[in-house]
């Protein structure tokens, strides 16, 4: 007896569901359908001169029954036959929709986006452009980036219409955000997708590397000062003759550095033209460290004839 009631309950639920669906499908709805753009018979060595979207968006209005056919029919595409297209401009409008999409039933579109598409052929060309990263990073306290980040490969091959390719000078990765980093990264990054049939991207991903290390500070004492381009008959005395430099960088990098990795120098011509007898040397350091301070900042100098 209980088993029979169980079947009755299930049948009642199914019947109620079918009635509910049937009633609701009689109402009118407005929906937007995306049709992928498919190109046919593109001539070899040619490309579309103007940007052509990869999808056409169409807004329909109708009963639920009529609109259901849009989603029950597979592989509905906006097909463009390029056999008759030449270098001359040919215009497609929203009114041409039914010539390019095989709708399962007679539905009338309310609007089509884009409403107008210009077709014309151009020479197909290829070129390699540098990749630009679109990345935001932040680091855990006490950690930081050591050296420059790397993209492998550094460029990507693109192809398409000469009209468009000639004006493309770089290609970007998708926006990526990495927060509170405390370890190095070595990951794949996707490149920005092309939104048009007129440009083709040969690579979809690149490798992104960034060296992250615990940061520390270190003082390098007694870095000598040099005077560049001093005449043979002149001698320059710097007071004092050396400086101390405090830098910040990755612990591993700092452990490998010595005083020889830093160079403090002044140009003789700058000294001759300076009447204050005070000079600020030019200090060069490895790119992976940041100079926090140097002591002293300024130096006195004396120029005199070299003793024979």
Question: What SS3 class is residue 182?
Answer: coil
The domain locations on the chain are 27-119, 124-210, 216-305
Query: Which residues are within 8 A (CB) of 290 and not within 5 positions of it... i.e. 6 or more apart?
Result: 247, 248, 249
User: What is the pTM (predicted TM-score) of this model?
Assistant: 0.69
Distances (CA, A) of 180 to 12, 98, 135, 136, 249: 56, 53, 14, 11, 17
Q: In what helix (H) or strand (E) does residue 115 lie, and over which residues does it extend?
A: none
Same topology, domains 124-210 and 216-305? Answer is yes
Residue 243's CB is within 10 A of a number of other CB atoms, namely 21
Topology of the domain comprising 124-210: RNA Polymerase Alpha Subunit; Chain A, domain 2 (2.170.120)
Helix or strand run (H / E) with residue 139:
strand 135-139
SS3 49: coil
Q: Please report the sign of the dihedral spanned by the C-alpha atoms of residue 111, residue 112, residue 114, residue 117.
A: negative
Options 2.40.110.20, 1.10.10.10, 3.30.930.10, 2.170.120.30; CATH for 216-305 is 2.170.120.30
101: helix, coil or strand?
coil
d(CA 98, CA 17): 35
Q: What is the pLDDT along the chain (308 residues), one digit of tens a residue?
A: 445 555 554 554 554 444 444 444 456 777 888 899 999 999 999 999 999 999 999 888 777 677 777 777 767 899 999 998 999 999 999 888 888 888 766 677 888 999 999 999 999 999 999 999 999 999 999 998 888 899 999 999 999 999 999 999 999 999 999 999 999 999 999 999 998 999 999 999 999 999 999 999 999 999 999 999 989 888 888 999 999 999 999 998 899 999 999 999 999 988 888 777 889 999 999 988 899 999 999 999 988 887 76
């Amino acid at each position: 007896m209980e088993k029979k009631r169980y079947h009755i309950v299930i049948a009642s639920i199914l019947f109620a569901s079918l009635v509910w669906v049937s009633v609701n499908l009689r109402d009118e709805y407005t929906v937007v359908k995306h049709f992928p753009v498919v190109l046919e018979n593109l001539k070899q060595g040619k490309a579309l001169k103007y940007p052509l979207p990869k999808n056409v968006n169409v807004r329909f209005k109708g009963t639920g029954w009529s609109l259901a056919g849009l989603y029950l029919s597979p592989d509905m595409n906006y097909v463009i036959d390029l056999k008759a297209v030449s270098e001359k401009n040919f215009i497609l409008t929203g009114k041409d929709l039914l010539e390019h999409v095989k709708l399962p039933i007679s539905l009338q579109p309310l609007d089509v986006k884009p409403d107008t598409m210009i077709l014309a052929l151009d020479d197909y060309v290829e070129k390699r452009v540098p990749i630009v990263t679109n990345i935001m990073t932040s680091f855990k306290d006490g950690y930081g980036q050591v050296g420059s980040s790397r993209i492998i490969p550094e460029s990507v091959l693109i192809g398409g219409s000469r009209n468009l390719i000639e004006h493309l000078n770089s290609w970007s990765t998708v926006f990526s955000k990495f927060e509170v980093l405390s370890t190095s990264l070595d990951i794949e990054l996707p490149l920005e997708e092309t939104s048009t049939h007129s440009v083709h991207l040969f690579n979809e991903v690149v490798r992104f590397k960034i060296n992250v290390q615990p940061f520390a500070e270190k003082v390098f004492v007694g870095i000598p000062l040099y005077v560049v381009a001093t005449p043979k008959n002149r001698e320059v005395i710097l007071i004092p003759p050396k400086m101390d430099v405090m830098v910040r960088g990755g612990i591993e990098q700092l452990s490998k550095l010595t005083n020889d990795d830093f160079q403090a120098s002044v140009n003789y011509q700058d000294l001759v033209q300076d009447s204050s007898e005070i000079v600020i040397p030019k200090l060069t350091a490895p790119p992976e460290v940041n100079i926090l301070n140097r002591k002293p900042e300024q130096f006195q100098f004396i120029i005199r004839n070299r003793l024979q």
